[in-house]
Amino acid sequence: MADDSRFVVAIDVGGTFTDVILIDGRTGERGVLRRLQRHPISLSAFSLV
């Protein structure tokens, strides 16, 4: 059986935190996968694992 769900990963860069958000394409439901605290040094790379 094929799974027809579609998910989108979005990154919301805020003042204090950077949120990695997962959006369900069928329902529009959103959930925060990871909340990263911002540091003076910019985030160049991070893992979703």
CB 35 within 8 A of CB 16: no
Ramachandran bin of 8, using left for φ above 0, alpha for ψ from -120 to 50, beta for the remaining angles: beta
pLDDT computed for residue 1 by the predictor = 45
Model pLDDT, residue 49: 46
Confidence grade of residue 35 (pLDDT, cut at 50, 70, 90):
confident
Percent of all residues in the chain with a pLDDT value above 90, rounded to a whole number: 2
Q: What is the mean pLDDT of residues 22-27?
A: 88
pTM for this entry: 0.53
